Amino acid sequence: MEKLFKQLNKIAKQVVLTKDEKSQEREKILNFVSTHPISNISLARQQWTWPNFLSSSWQTKPVAIFATILLAIFAVGGVSFASQSSLPGDTLYPIKLKTEEIRSVLSFSTQAKAQLESRLAQKRLEEAEQLSNESKLDSDARGQLETNFEEHANRAGDETKLLASTDAKAAADINSNLEVSLKAHDRILVKLAEVKDGKIGPEIGKLLIKVRAETEDANKNKNDEEDDVKVQTQVDVQAAAEGRLNSAEDKIIEVRAFINQTKRVIGADAVANAEARLQVAEHLVIQGKAKLDARAYNHAFILFGQAHRVAQGAKLLVQARKDFNVDVKFNSDNNSETDSGDNVASTSSQIQTHTDGRLKVRLGL
């Protein structure tokens, strides 16, 4: 507990706003209060009295109390929320990073830490894409993003290695998701650079070196952890395969819903491409079920993992079209999601540009 308080206190001391920034945030708070009035003041007072808050159930959970108070302070202040859309160079970007540090400190399980660090590594690449799309990815921004990306990716790798000692399947799934995401961001960064400048510039090039190194690490960690699962007892491997089956089917449902939500924005071609990928994922699920029925649990485990990656790739296809007006084409090879990734020269040869200026990308995942 004392260590936690010290960590949070250290982070909080580094969060400093100027007078103008404080004035801006105060204005945001007042605007929020005026547009979100409490409809029943007496009920609100009753629910938030100290006796209710400090009930016996809370008194036994001091960490939960402290975490809730801390998050409430950030939410009410509006600073954390307002900073979430900020990018390197923006006033609130340092607040965004400090908020992420607090989330990391408050992630108590190894699996939660690994998932968070993996997501934050991906977020840095999303920010790089936004800056690249706006022609704002200079050396300072790239250096900051590159350093932060590498730190989070390395932490994710360290946490999954710890997790693998007790739950190899969970560790493999985290690295699998990270790998497919990094491959997608690799291609998107390349294509954004090509459509903007006609070539891979030095900033994108330097960032891609780090991205590809971390992609290889995620792939290696995933393979090692999957090997750990496959040598477990037959009962355990069966459970791992069935767990991946459920995850793959849930992911397919999730992605199909996402396609339906965005189909008016992304256009018929992107919808058709994404649906084609989902059909590949569904076919892999069918193959996996056949292996499951044949008690070939190792094969089923791998096939369901591939199905999940293919479905996730379909979602990334749709997201790229939605965010950057970019059409992403996936390789037809069913196993392409496990490939290590193309180099810059080979990916650049897969570009097609529509007459309306949209970029078509072949994305091998």
Per-domain boundaries in the chain: 107-363
Percent of the chain at pLDDT exceeding 90: 58
Query: CA 229 to CA 167: how far, in whole Å?
Result: 9
Question: Which pLDDT tens digit goes with each residue over 10-48?
Answer: 555 555 555 555 565 556 555 555 555 545 544 444 444
Average pLDDT score over residue span 158-163: 98
Name which residue leads in pLDDT, 335 or 113.
113
Which residues does residue 361 pair with via DSSP β-bridges, in sequence order?
328
Long-range contacts of 183-186 (CB under 8 A, 24+ apart): 183/215, 183/337, 183/341, 183/363, 183/364, 183/365, 184/313, 184/316, 184/320, 184/363, 184/365, 185/122, 185/125, 185/126, 185/128, 185/129, 185/211, 186/211, 186/212, 186/215, 186/341
The reported pLDDT for the residue numbered 3 is: 58
Question: Which pLDDT tens digit goes with each residue over 292-311?
Answer: 999 999 999 999 999 999 99
Average pLDDT score over residue span 115-142: 96
Indicate whether 354 pLDDT > 60. no
Going by C-alpha positions, the residue among 123, 190, 209, 207 that lies closest to residue 359 is 190
Which residues does residue 359 pair with via DSSP β-bridges, in sequence order?
326, 353
Do 307 and 284 meet the contact criterion of CB atoms below 8 Å apart? Answer: yes
- Burial classification of residue 328, based on how many CB atoms lie within 10 Å of its CB (0-12 exposed, 13-18 middle, 19 or more buried): buried
Query: CA 176 to CA 306: how far, in whole Å?
Result: 9
Q: Which residues contact 32 (CB under 8 A, 6 or more apart)?
A: 78
Average pLDDT score over residue span 192-204: 85
Question: Which pLDDT tens digit goes with each residue over 238-269?
Answer: 999 999 999 999 999 999 999 999 999 999 99
Place of tokens 């996936």: 330
Place of tokens 């396609």: 259
- Token pair recorded at residue 170: 């969970």
Average pLDDT score over residue span 55-59: 45
**pTM of the predicted structure, to 2 decimals:** 0.74
Q: Of 41-55, 92-106, 346-360, give the lowest mean pLDDT range.
A: 346-360
Average pLDDT score over residue span 134-140: 95
Query: CA 118 to CA 124: how far, in whole Å?
Result: 10
Indicate whether 61 pLDDT > 60. no
Name which residue leads in pLDDT, 270 or 42.
270
- Token pair recorded at residue 157: 């790798």
The reported pLDDT for the residue numbered 137 is: 95
Per DSSP (E only), the strands in 276-355 are 326-330, 352-353
The reported pLDDT for the residue numbered 191 is: 84
Q: Of 150-154, 250-254, 326-330, 359-363, give the lowest mean pLDDT range.
A: 359-363
The reported pLDDT for the residue numbered 326 is: 75
Single-letter amino acid, residue 312: Q
Average pLDDT for the chain:
80
Indicate whether 340 pLDDT > 50. no
Query: CA 327 to CA 319: how far, in whole Å?
Result: 10
Query: CA 261 to CA 99: how far, in whole Å?
Result: 30
- Neighbour order of strands in the sheet with 352-353: 326-330, 359-363, 352-353
Question: Which pLDDT tens digit goes with each residue over 202-228?
Answer: 999 999 999 999 999 999 999 999 999
Name which residue leads in pLDDT, 236 or 56.
236
Average pLDDT score over residue span 144-173: 98
Average pLDDT score over residue span 174-195: 92
- Token pair recorded at residue 177: 């998701």
Percent of the chain at pLDDT exceeding 70: 67
User: Going by DSSP bridges, is the β-strand pair 359-363/326-330 parallel, antiparallel, or unpaired?
Assistant: parallel
Which CA distances in Å does 104 have to 18, 35, 84, 97, 114? Answer: 26, 32, 16, 11, 9
